[in-house]
Amino acid sequence: MKHYRAHLLVCAGTGCVSCGSFKIKEALEKEIKTRGLQDEVQVVATGCNGFCERGPIVLVQPDGIFYQLLTVGDVPHLVEEHLLKGRPVKKLMYVPPAEKQPVPKMKDIEFFKHQRLIVLRNRGRIDPEKIEEYIAFDGYEALGKALTEMTPAAIIDEILFSGLRGRGGAGFPTGKKWAACAKEKATPKYLICNGDEGDPGAFMDRSVLEADPHAVLEGMVIGAKAIGASKGFVYIRHEYPLALKRMEIAITQARENGLLGQDILGSGFDFDLEIVQGAGAFVSGEESALIASVEGKIAMPRQRPPYPAQKGLWGKPTVINNVETWATVPNIIRRGADWFQGLGTETSKGTKIFALVGKIANTGLVEVPMGITLREIVYGIGGGIPDKRDFKAVQIGGPSGGCLPAKLLDLPVDYESLTAAGAMMGSGGMIVMDDKTCMVDIAKYFLNFLQDESCGKCVSCREGTQRMYEIVKGITEGEGKESDLALLEELAQITKDASMCGLGQTAGNPVLTTLRYFRHEYEAHILDKRCPAGVCKKLIRYVVLSEKCTGCLSCKKACPTEAIKGTLKEIHLIDQSKCIKCGACKEACRFEAIEEQREEAIQII
Amino acid sequence: MITFRMNGLEVKAEEGWSLLETAKFYGLAIPTLCHHEGLTEFGGCRLCVVEIGEGLRSKLVSACTYPAEEGLVVRTDTTRVWAARRMMIELMLAMAPGSKVLQDLASKFNVTRVRFKLRHGECVLCGLCTRICAEQMDAAAIGFQQRGHKRKISTPFDARSEVCRLCGACMYICPACQLRCQGPDADTAICNGCLTMEPSCLDHYDDLQCWMYDAGRCGTCVQEKKS
């Protein structure tokens, strides 16, 4: 085997790829060749590092130097300085906000420092398209242990004892699910990996599948042995081409190496996997809908019980777990349930991956131990709110999760606390909002998403989400009535109560939590016809301040709808009937002569 | 036999019975709309919701799809159940105010107002027509399209179906499009006529004379309540 003195680990998650990391990789390889270093330095494309805000990212090992926001133009300088002369390039390193000195090493950066990597342990470290690299980092060790040393009952006991709970959102104990399926007599049994991630702003499953597909695969084979399944399906949405490609490569490589298929590792156990592409319906993430989708039917949930563990795919016992859950399994088997027990809180064990997005300095993917507070995630890892603005709320748990206000920032992140606060763990989307966000508008956004994505079976969910959207939309347009709030609350509660599946049963959350924590904003919209954050377009208007306007024409040029009248050196006027309230004029004005009015008075004019 | 409790009574159900079937067997009335004997259960209208379990963990489930379970505690008429049923009726009435089935349900559950914008449609997407077409007529000429607020029932690609035999079963079974409410002001959201009507035969006889044993259902022999 060839030895290299340095490795350049180029991040090749979807985020960095879209910023051109493959071009950086090509340029690095070319530059290294022209300098004659190809036998000393290796370039590796890895899975997502999580620090997507700073892509494209290159990590130089063994030094652990972290380079960010690279362009192809930086490459020759980087190779010459760092690899030839041994001088790390300071100007390409990460500089924390409000500081001047760069932080050279990855492990010293705040974003990485507080994370605890278990599921994502191989991110940014191995080439996900090479099974050898996975094996080199203890990959498939757990599989060997499970197939040769453990009985199915012992595997289930281990998972049960570890306290692992489903990472898809509901948090059902994984061991219990497996045990229920294992005791069913009907055969064949099936396994499904739920990779139908549909929350806006969430990309946990995608990153795991892209960074470490073999971990998911290994977890599934262990699960198959535990319940006695012979066939498994990996359900990935077709919007994730890179994840699909890497999973396909992983399955092929595992088959070639005797880790999948007939007689795995010579143990006499047979199990094979197939990839199923989802067509992008959010509701397909619900387990009974996903099963219907795999069967080739409309993705429409059905009544449980019978649960999939009893009657699932084609009426046979089926275990269906989330991507993250499957990827956690090999770690528990390899390191033991005791070790896993020691992480997290009393009821929530282990770690959870969150997609940290929105108004936050360090956008990206983080894996943290359960029980960490929201404040540590938002301010510690996330680096706080950019542009010196104030934190307003964090939306947790996807569209049917809830918005939690600043006073709950010290809430520990575990299944029970989040549910008690009106949000939910969900699959792990975390959207941070600053004081420029209107909470009524946020509720409207999520309701619009839900009325689109409800399967349409239950009256409560289909009509409930539509009517809630209708009412909230009315409120944002200044047509709200005082009675609307009571009706909204009643409707949201009944939508939660009367719907069949998880989508409907949580569809009231965006309304209920914003009403619970931000009721004054709704009241401002309804009573004063005012949007405190200045977001709802029908409730604001732009006017020219005649004493400041110099008649420079720049606002007129910026206006996309030609709503501004006036000639050079004359005070301009905005025609309100044409104005679409995009704010382009305000941005273009150098004299602060355009004002955004949010007062009640504008309704009278 | 499966033994469980329903409204405090101990009931026995056959293996495979739903809560609705058990309730029917014991004569407990649960309203339904998308349920029809002879068709598979759908669980979409949510009118048949009942409360199961006790205390904080109690929840609403549709009686037509929920199987009878050993030891279950079921309550068919609680405040929570009624609030949900009345909201479902209100939501469906706003979709298709012309439906007599829905207007009757509104009267029965004392739903006297609709707080949502009326759509004046003719379909509540209960799926009865698609099921009778596929399961009894063996045609499957119509089905659901789209999801969420775009959902509708139609033939594939909205083209005239080649498998449709124009048998009319879909119209026969529809609770919304055929049977129109004949009560006063059918065009407004709520008729509530049945609340103020009573059979006229009771003026002359001691017993109800209606051969349908369902006073006022046809709407012809009723008069304004005198009291």
Concatenated DSSP letters of A255-312: HHTTSSEEEETTTTEEEEEEEEEE---GGGGSHHHHHHHHTTS-------SSPTTTS-
pLDDT score recorded for residue B59: 93
pLDDT at A202 over 90: no
pLDDT tens by residue, A245-293? 999 999 999 999 999 999 999 999 999 999 999 888 899 999 999 999 9
B61 shares a domain with B6: yes
Contact B149 A303 (CB under 8 A): no
Q: How confident is the model at residue A601 (pLDDT cuts 50, 70, 90)?
A: very low
Contact A451 B149 (CB under 8 A): yes
Query: Which whole-number Å values give the CA distances from B77 to A493, B4, B53, in the listed order?
Result: 18, 17, 13
The H or E element containing residue B61 is strand B59-62
Name chain A contacts of B44, Cβ cutoff 8 Å: 457-459
What token pair was written down for A495? 């939508």
Name chain B contacts of A454, Cβ cutoff 8 Å: 147-149
Question: Is-contact A263 A281, C-beta < 8 A?
Answer: no
Q: Can you tell me the mean pLDDT for B97-117?
A: 87
> d(Cα B125, Cα B122) in Å, to the nearest integer?
9
Instruction: Please state which of the four CATH numbers 2.40.30.40, 3.40.30.10, 3.40.630.10, 3.30.70.240 is assigned to the domain occupying A6-108.
Output: 3.40.30.10
Contact B66 A487 (CB under 8 A): no
Contact A459 B42 (CB under 8 A): no
Considering the domain boundaries, does residue B116 fall inside one? no
Q: Is B65 on the interface with A (CB under 8 A)?
A: yes
B53 shares a domain with B18: yes
Q: Which residue's structure tokens are 């009248």?
A: A565
3-class SS at B90?
Answer: helix
pLDDT tens by residue, A558-589? 999 989 988 888 888 888 888 888 888 988 89
Nearest residue of A to residue B150, measured between CA atoms: A452
Q: Can you tell me the mean pLDDT for A234-244?
A: 93
pLDDT score recorded for residue B188: 64
DSSP bridge pairs for A262: none
pLDDT tens by residue, B178-222? 666 665 555 567 777 767 667 777 778 777 766 555 555 555 566
Residue of B67, B88, B151 with shortest CB distance to A498: B88
Contact B49 A498 (CB under 8 A): yes
Residues 6 or more apart in contact with residue A380 via CB below 8 angstroms: A110, A114
pLDDT score recorded for residue A571: 87
Residues 6 or more apart in contact with residue B119 via CB below 8 angstroms: B94, B95, B96
Contact B146 A456 (CB under 8 A): yes
Amino acid at A8: L
C-alpha dihedral sign at A473, A474, A476, A481: negative
Q: How confident is the model at residue A605 (pLDDT cuts 50, 70, 90)?
A: very low
Domain ranges of chain A: 6-108, 131-341, 351-434, 439-527, 540-604
pLDDT at A227 over 70: yes
Least confident among A108-112, A134-138, B211-215: B211-215
What token pair was written down for B223? 């008069």
Name chain B contacts of A302, Cβ cutoff 8 Å: 43, 65
> d(Cα A142, Cα A332) in Å, to the nearest integer?
8
Full 3-state SS string of A142-173: HHHHHHHCCCHHHHHHHHHHHCCECCCCCCCE
DSSP 8-state symbol, B191: -
What token pair was written down for B116? 């949502």
Structural domain harbouring B23: 2-77
Full 3-state SS string of A55-103: CCCEEEECCCEEECCCCHHHHHHHHHHHHHCCCCCHHHEECCCCCCCCE
Considering the domain boundaries, does residue B92 fall inside one? no
pLDDT at A603 over 50: no
What token pair was written down for B221? 């022999």
pLDDT score recorded for residue A169: 79
Considering the domain boundaries, does residue B150 fall inside one? yes
B222 shares a domain with B169: no
Contact B124 A456 (CB under 8 A): no
Name chain A contacts of B59, Cβ cutoff 8 Å: 497
The DSSP bridge pattern shows strands A261-264 and A269-278 to be antiparallel
Residue of A456, A467, A497 with shortest CB distance to B151: A456
pLDDT score recorded for residue B15: 93
Q: Can you tell me the mean pLDDT for B98-104?
A: 86
Rounded to two decimals, the pTM is 0.89
Question: Is-contact A359 A402, C-beta < 8 A?
Answer: no
Question: Is-contact A412 A373, C-beta < 8 A?
Answer: yes
B17 shares a domain with B51: yes
DSSP bridge pairs for A273: A232
Q: Which of B17, B50, B77 is the last residue of a domain?
A: B77
Question: In this structure, what are the phi and psi dihedrals at residue A430, rounded to the nearest 5 degrees?
Answer: -140, 105
pLDDT score recorded for residue B203: 79
- What's A540-604's CATH class? alpha beta
Contact B61 A466 (CB under 8 A): no
Q: Can you tell me the mean pLDDT for A522-549?
A: 89
B219 shares a domain with B168: no
Considering the domain boundaries, does residue B59 fall inside one? yes
pLDDT at B77 over 70: yes
- Residue A86 burial (CB count, 10 A): 8
Question: Is-contact A242 A288, C-beta < 8 A?
Answer: no
Mean pLDDT of chain A, nearest integer: 90
Considering the domain boundaries, does residue B109 fall inside one? no
Total domains in chain B come to: 3
Listed residue (A350, A456, A359, A357) closest to A413, CA to CA: A350
> d(Cα A492, Cα A242) in Å, to the nearest integer?
38
Q: How confident is the model at residue A184 (pLDDT cuts 50, 70, 90)?
A: very high
Considering the domain boundaries, does residue B189 fall inside one? no
- What's A351-434's CATH class? alpha beta
Name chain A contacts of B60, Cβ cutoff 8 Å: 497-498
Q: Can you tell me the mean pLDDT for A218-226?
A: 95
Q: How confident is the model at residue A474 (pLDDT cuts 50, 70, 90)?
A: very high
B56 shares a domain with B23: yes
Considering the domain boundaries, does residue B118 fall inside one? no
Considering the domain boundaries, does residue B99 fall inside one? no
Amino acid at A78: L
DSSP 8-state symbol, A376: I
Contact A498 B87 (CB under 8 A): yes
State whether CATH 3.40.640.10 applies to domain A131-341: no
Assign residue B178 a region: left if phi > 0, alpha if psi is -120 to 50, beta otherwise? alpha
CATH of domain A439-527: 1.20.1440.230
Residue of A281, A451, A459 with shortest CB distance to B44: A459
pLDDT tens by residue, B131-157? 999 999 999 999 999 999 999 999 999
Contact A470 B116 (CB under 8 A): yes
Distance from CA of B88 to the nearest CA of A (A): 6
Contact B148 A454 (CB under 8 A): yes
Distance from CA of A297 to the nearest CA of B (A): 12
Find out whether the peptide bond into B184 is cis, omega within 30 degrees of 0.
Answer: no
C-alpha torsion A581→A583→A584→A587, nearest 10: 160
Listed residue (B125, B145, B141) closest to B133, CA to CA: B141
